[in-house]
Every structure is written in C-alpha cells, then in structure tokens.
Chains A and B, each alone.
Chain A
Amino acid sequence: MGKTKILIVDDHRVVIEGIKSALSVYPDLEIVGEALNGHQAIKKVKSLSPDIVIMDISMPDLNGIDATLQIKKMEPNIKIIIFTMYSNREYIIDLYKAGISSYILKKEPMSELVNAIKAVESGGTFFSGVASEVLFNYVKELDEAKEPKLTDEFETLSLREREVFQGLAEGKSVKEIAEILGISRKTVETHKYNIMEKLHAQNVTDLTKLAIRKGIIQI
C-alpha cells in the first residue's frame, strides 16, 4: 500500500497552499500536483494518475461540475472530493449524480476533509452535514415520486387559474372572464395557456370534460 496520490484543483493559490499545509502532517498522503481550473485538472489527471482529486466548483475556463463529468468519463475509478464554499442543493445533487465521492464545505474544520480522504481512499463515500441532509431529502423525494401520484394535475393550478378554468369550462369567452374577474384579456389568455399546459388539454372541450369529472360544473 503506497502513498495515496492527491491532485488539488482550485483557482486560488492561497487555498491550495492551505490544503497542502493541512495535509502535510499525514505521511501517507502525497500531493502529486496542482491545477488552477478544470482544463488543467483534466490534463494533470491524464499525466499524473492521482487516486483522489480535491476540486472546487467555481473556476474559470471549465468549472468543477463539467470537469467532474469529464474526469469520471475518462477514469471512472478516480475518487473526487468537492471542496467548496457553496452549499446549494442544486450543486450537491448535480455533483452527486455526476459521481463524486464526497462534498466538503470550506468553512468546515479541516479534519472533515481529512476524514473524507480517509473514507474515500478505501473506496467509500463521505457525506456529512449539509450535503448529507440534502441528499437524504433528495432520495426521499425520488421515492415519493415513484409512488402513484396522490395529487392530480388539477392541484397544480393556482387560485386564479382555477377561476379562469371554471369560466372556460362554463363556456365563457376570454372577454367575459376578464370582465368578471377585473383583469386584462391578456392576463386571462396567459392563464388559459398555462392551464392547458398544466392539464395537458388540447382545447376547451377537454377542460369542460375535466370540470364535469371533478364536479365543478353540472351538465
């Protein structure tokens, strides 16, 4: 078991230096290279074959997300640890899907990064704190999505959309609905369009059929 080879990727020299000094106390970790953006990272991965890549998200030229996708395609066995300021759900989920092994926030203690490296070098993953919360909720949502929908599309209509829906189903014209609700015709047209999109309706007859089914209007 040789040393674990690590490539550090961050567009800030100071951060790279900081990581290096923090990891310097661990003799079995070897920093084999540094890169300042996604393109350099890919080149260094090819030339240095590291075991682990510690990478930031926002970098010029090629950002961390796109770089992750490309590196994973090239070398599926490389472990990628994201080290970033951002705790946004969108980033965490997208990167998780791209195949990262860990997501560490820069504001966390360095010991977290070290724990991540330890967990990851033997093939595991390491998600803690915010990242684990986000992923936990995400998996829960995926599960719920697989179940048959308890709410139908009609529930996605806003209050005003429901009012317009009723008017249309009752056979009122856009002009009449606008007058009754006290809004402009253009607004009613927009609502009508959105309603048809949400309910997958081709025409007003479809709306009327749905309204009858839901008991909103009587024949």
Chain B
Amino acid sequence: MDYKNKTKAELISVIKRLEKQLTLLKKDNSLQEKKDSLIENGTKFYTLVESANDAIFLLKGEIFIDCNTKTVEIFGLKSKKDIVGKAPYYFSPERQPDGRLSRDKALEFIFAARKGIPQFFEWQHCKQDRTPFDTEVSLNRLPPPHEDVIIAIVRDITERKRAEENLRSLNTRLMEEHRQRKLLSKRLIQLLESHNRKISMDLHDHIGQTLVTLKIDLDLIADRVKSPDTSLKLVIEKAKAKTIQAIEDIEKISHGLRPSMLDTLGLLPSLRDLFEEVKKQTNIEIHFFTRDIPKRFDPEKELTIFRVVQEGLTNVIKHSRAKNCFVNLIKKDNSIVLSVEDDGVGFKANGKLGASKGKIPLGLIFMKERVIQLNGEFSIESRVGGGVHLFAEIPI
C-alpha cells in the first residue's frame, strides 16, 4: 500500500479498520483456546508416552518412525536413532519359540492391525546386543487420516514369566508333598490297625487261652480235693474266680482293640454287637436303621465305618448326656451313607466341631482323615437346640 499519496482522511479510515480487526482478533479467544488446548493435549500426550513404563513406538509401513524413551532402555539401544528406520522384526530372533520365522509372523500381525483389528500377543524380542527377552505386544492403528500408522506398546514380561515359572515349580513341589503326606497318613492308619490287631490276637491267643487252661487245671484240682477240706476248696474257688476275671478282662481289652467279629460275621452283626455293649453299660437307647447294606464288602471300608460309629458313640456317651441315638446306615447309588445323631447337649452353636473346651476331639479328626483316605466325605454339625449329627459317605 502506497501511504505517501493517501489523504489524511483515507489513512485514518485504514487505521480505524485495522484497529477494528485487531480488536476482533483479540476478542477471538477461541482461537487462542484452541491453540492452548492443542498445546496442552500435545504436552499431555507427550508426557504420557514419555513417562510410560513400556516401550511405545510408531510404525509406518514396515519401519519404525518414532519411539519413547523407555524403548531405548528396554531394547538396550544407545539412542532413538538406533531404532528409527529399522523393521520391527529386526529386534527379534530369527524364529519365535513356536518355530515360525519372526519376519513372517510379524508381518501377519502388522497386516491385521492395519486392517483395523487390534492385536495383542506374546512375542520374543531381541535387545540391541541380540539377547532375547519375552514381551507382550499390542498393536493398534491410528484413526484416520493416519490409518497407515500403527502404535505399538511392548511390555517386558521377563520378570512375570520368571514368577510364573517359580509358581509352577512351587505348585508341583507342593502337590508332591501333599501326595506324600496323604500316603504317610494312609500308612499310619494301616500300621495302627495292624498293630492293634496283633496285640488283640496275642492277648486273646496267648494269654487268654493260657488262662483258660489254667482254669481247667483248677477245675481238675477242685474235683480231686475231697471234702471236708473246705478251706482248701475255698482257696481253689477264689483262684478260679480270679482266673475267670482275668479271662474276661483280657477279652474286653482284646475286643476294644479290634473286634474279631468284623472278620467272622461282617459289619452289621458287629455294629449290633457294639450297640449291645452300649445298652449294657449306659442308659442310651440306640435306634439302628439300615437298608441295602451288602453283607460283606471291602474289609478296609467295613473297618472304617465300624470305627466311625464306634468313635461317634464314644463321644455321645462321653459328652452328650443324650437319651437317644439314631444310627442310619444306607446304601445310596454307589456309596454307603452313615449318620449318627443324638439328642444330647451338642456343642458350640456356631456349628463348628468342638468339645467342651472348644477343641476338636482328636478321635473325630482321626475318623475324618480315615474317611477322606477312602475318598469319602465327613462332617459333624451341632444343632442350635442341641444334639450332634455326624455324617459320613464312603464310595464302594
């Protein structure tokens, strides 16, 4: 514009016009706002990317065009320059752990991402010095108009994989230890029972029978002693009585250790015999209900069921002050279901197993273990109103 030849009036109007435009521009904050927000977002984005703990880089076509600082660290580079311009499979071993060529596999993923399908996969990369390391990769293409650019996030999962491996080996060790414990427990139970059996038989066979012959001899002596030597006869009678008492005591101990009736007659008669004993010694009335129980089955299971009932009854007698005890033994599909229920005082109302002091009676812990050894289930509950319900199920 040639200001020399303009009139003063014309210049003033130009200035006024320019002033107006300036004011308008100044008032147009939105432009400034847009610029500000652009700068702000850009800064945010930049900070986000730069401060990320994973490698983030951009792929255009098949080569890197930019990356964040973490990329340099993760890939063991000297600077960003080492990566820009390179192909992504450059920083990978020739083949992936599954045997495929890295180049082919990588191109497949990139191709899929470029179509718009986000990719997420594990990948073995290489650092600058060619040491391989395990990573997790996600690929996403940028929105239009930049769909030819892919943003890749790579996470170093070496630590995680190590932790997983540790967990796996720990788990294996734990399983093995558990298996051995279970075996030990089984052996202990078998040892205990065979031990009991041996003592029971020794008592009955050796001592018991010897006492019997002793008594027979005393009978013979008594016969030979003619009256009127009544004092001698008295001594002999006393001796016989003591012998008989000893015989009875031995039988009681022997029977307590292991009832031979289980071997000779089986489970149901042995249980009925047990209930007879209880009836003789206590005021508890036992109601026994059975259905479809086979006469004989696996001796180990017969013995375990017997022991559980025996232990359950022992606890009823010791702790419950019950008047009635209901024993149900039923065959249900492929298992035998046992329940022992009394109408006594029960134990702690929280339903958990516990005797008067809140401790689980050892005998019942033992029974639970024996039932579990046979792949069965075991539980004990106490009612709010009182009474205890013992439940066991053993597959046969």
Contact = CB atoms under 8 A, between A and B. Distances in A.
A122 to B, nearest CB: 23
Given A90-B270, A159-B343, A15 B328 contact: no
A89 B276 contact: yes
Contact of A160 (B209, B244, B276, B387): B387
Interface in A19-40: 19, 21-22, 25
Interface stretch (A102-110, A167-175, A204-212): A102-110
B209 A183 contact: no
Nearest to B377: A186
B287 A156 contact: yes
A181 B384 contact: yes
A75 B228 CA distance: 47
A97 to B, nearest CB: 12
A91 B381 CA distance: 35
B204 A183 contact: no
Interface stretch (A1-9, A43-51, A141-149, A192-200): A192-200
Which 5 A-B residue pairings sit nearest by Cβ, starting from the closest? A158-B326, A18-B216, A182-B384, A90-B269, A18-B213
B265 interface: yes
Interface in B324-371: 324, 326, 328, 330, 332, 337, 339, 341, 343, 349, 351
A193 B330 contact: yes
A154 to B, nearest CB: 13
Most A CB within 10 A of own CB, among B263, B328, B330, B384? B328
14 contacts: A63-B263, A65-B265, A85-B204, A85-B251, A90-B261, A110-B220, A159-B387, A160-B383, A161-B326, A161-B341, A186-B379, A187-B389, A190-B339, A193-B330
Interface in A82-111: 85-86, 88-91, 94, 106-107, 109-111
B236 to A, nearest CB: 11
A173 to B, nearest CB: 19
Most A CB within 10 A of own CB, among B270, B287, B341? B341
A178 to B, nearest CB: 10
A125 interface: no
A73 interface: no
B212 interface: yes
A107 B260 contact: no
Contacts of B216: 18-19, 21-22, 110
B261 A88 contact: yes
B330 A197 contact: yes
A38 to B, nearest CB: 11
A159 B339 CA distance: 13
Interface in B201-229: 204-205, 208-210, 212-213, 215-217, 219-220, 223
Contacts of A187: 379, 381, 389, 391
Contacts of B328: 194
Contacts of B261: 88, 90-91
Most B CB within 10 A of own CB, among A57, A63, A90, A110? A90
Contact of B273 (A65, A85, A88, A191): A88
Contact of A85 (B212, B269, B391): B212
Nearest to B250: A85
A91 B213 CA distance: 22
Interface bracket on A? 35 or more
A183 B291 CA distance: 25
Contact of B209 (A14, A86, A159, A191): A14
Contacts of A197: 289, 291, 330
B272 interface: yes
B265 A90 contact: yes
Given A85-B212, A107-B248, 13 more contacts: A21-B216, A22-B219, A58-B260, A63-B264, A85-B208, A85-B251, A89-B273, A90-B261, A158-B341, A161-B341, A190-B339, A191-B339, A193-B330
Interface residues of B, number: 49
Interface in B163-220: 204-205, 208-210, 212-213, 215-217, 219-220
Contact of B276 (A15, A88, A109): A88
Interface of A: 11-12, 14-15, 17-19, 21-22, 25, 57-58, 63, 65, 85-86, 88-91, 94, 106-107, 109-111, 156, 158-161, 181-184, 186-187, 190-191, 193-194, 197-198
Contacts of B384: 181-182
Contact of A22 (B220, B263, B287, B379): B220
A58 B264 contact: yes
Nearest to B329: A194
Contacts of A194: 289, 328, 330, 337, 339
A194 to B, nearest CB: 5
A106 B247 contact: yes
A148 to B, nearest CB: 20
Nearest to A59: B264
B328 to A, nearest CB: 5
Contacts of B212: 14-15, 18, 85, 106-107
Interface string B378-396: 0101011001010100000
Contacts of B381: 183-184, 187
B379 A91 contact: no
Contacts of B217: 18
A191 B389 CA distance: 10
Contacts of A86: 251
B372 to A, nearest CB: 15
Interface string B134-151: 000000000000000000
Nearest to B266: A90
Given A85-B251, A156-B287, A186-B391, A14 B213 contact: yes
